Homo-oligomer: A and B are copies of this chain.
Amino acid sequence: MKEKFSGIWPAMFTPINNDGEPALDQVEKLVELFISQKLGGIYILGSTGQGLLFTEEQRKQVTRRVAGISKGRIPIIVQVGALTTAEAVRLARYAEQCGVDAISSVGPVYYSGNAAMALEHYKGIASSTQLPFFPYQLGENFIPGDTIQFVNQLLNIPHIAGMKLTTNQLLEISSIHNYAGEKLKLFSGSDELFCHASLCGTVGAIGSFYNIWGLQCKQVLMEFKNGNYALAQEFMLGFQKVICKILPNSWTFFRKAMLLKYQIDIGEAKAPLGNTQIEWEDEAVMNIFKEIESLAVH
């Protein structure tokens, strides 16, 4: 039987209409897309989903709609982290009422503080529901050497189920896995390293680029685990090349790519996010599609 929390999970874009509000019709199309692709699950309202840039009410709307469409056909994790613990708790409880599968939270934002502050923040959120909890690491000031001590304290948080990692330090991932084992299901957050991270004991990966190439990444990860080293090496090198091209203007790319490939309009990123990015020509986007296709066909 397949593990509920595993595999390739898009950190779902939150489509936005011209007024800066969630475009719920496009949200539906995205959810149906990922269900049809049989991806591992959907992670909503994280950094890619611009969760923190929406009002509390808008975040609840999106959560309700996603849960309402998916109806258990695909696992859903909702990122509920917010500037105050109080708002995060309200979002967590609302998500539970909507029937999602788990909640997640970024560390403290703005006042990024220390590990103790993050742990207390996480504890407040995790305790407020019965849902499995997948926190991030401890905010923005992570010091590698303190990882194990932090993880040890994390294991005492109610309903802790895993982590949504942001690090690209693979030894940090291995160290967490070596320490916590099955007690923490680890999702890697560096799209460009999803195969490498699986060697460190991750159960899956959550990221932006799986909105576009979820199918390809799912196939590569499966084949890599089944022994196709050559495919993994070739794909990851090509995927990394593409990611590096896209990153400086990622939000304009994402919008056009989703439109061209899936006819889904995710709208313009909410400023200041993407406020200096230049538009992509259709042809440039299509060329990148071809680059990826040339890697995954075997």
Instruction: Please choose the segment from A29-37, A110-118, A158-166, A280-288 that sits at the chain B interface, where 4 or more of its residues have CB less than 8 A away.
Output: A110-118
Complexed CA–CA distance, A241 and B52 (Å): 37
Q: Is A120 a contact of B271 with CB atoms below 8 Å?
A: yes
Describe A's contact surface by its main secondary structure: helix
Chain A 156-188 interface residues, beta-carbon cutoff 8 Å to B: 168-171, 174-175, 177-178
- Which residues of chain B are near A52, meaning CB under 8 Å? 83, 110
Q: Which of A178, A199, A201 has the most CB of B within 10 A?
A: A199
Name the CB-closest residue of B to A228: B227
Q: Is B237 a contact of A201 with CB atoms below 8 Å?
A: yes
Instruction: Please choose the segment from A72-80, A189-197, A211-219 that sits at the chain B interface, where 4 or more of its residues have CB less than 8 A away.
Output: A189-197
- Which residues of chain B are near A114, meaning CB under 8 Å? 276
B47, B84, B174, B190: the one contacting A271 at CB < 8 Å is B84
Q: Is A193 a contact of B178 with CB atoms below 8 Å?
A: no
Q: Is B171 a contact of A192 with CB atoms below 8 Å?
A: yes
Q: Is B233 a contact of A201 with CB atoms below 8 Å?
A: yes
Interface range for A: 35 or more
Residues of A within 8 A of B (CB): 20, 47, 52-53, 83-86, 108-111, 113-114, 116-118, 120-121, 124, 140, 168-171, 174-175, 177-178, 190, 192-193, 195-196, 198-201, 224-229, 232-233, 236-237, 240-241, 244, 270-273, 275-276
Complexed CA–CA distance, A113 and B232 (Å): 31
Complexed CA–CA distance, A200 and B234 (Å): 9
Complexed CA–CA distance, A124 and B272 (Å): 9
A sample of 18 cross-chain residue pairs with beta-carbon separation below 8 angstroms, ordered by A number, consists of A47-B110, A52-B83, A52-B110, A85-B275, A109-B109, A111-B273, A117-B272, A118-B272, A124-B271, A171-B193, A171-B244, A174-B240, A175-B244, A178-B237, A178-B240, A200-B236, A200-B237, A200-B240
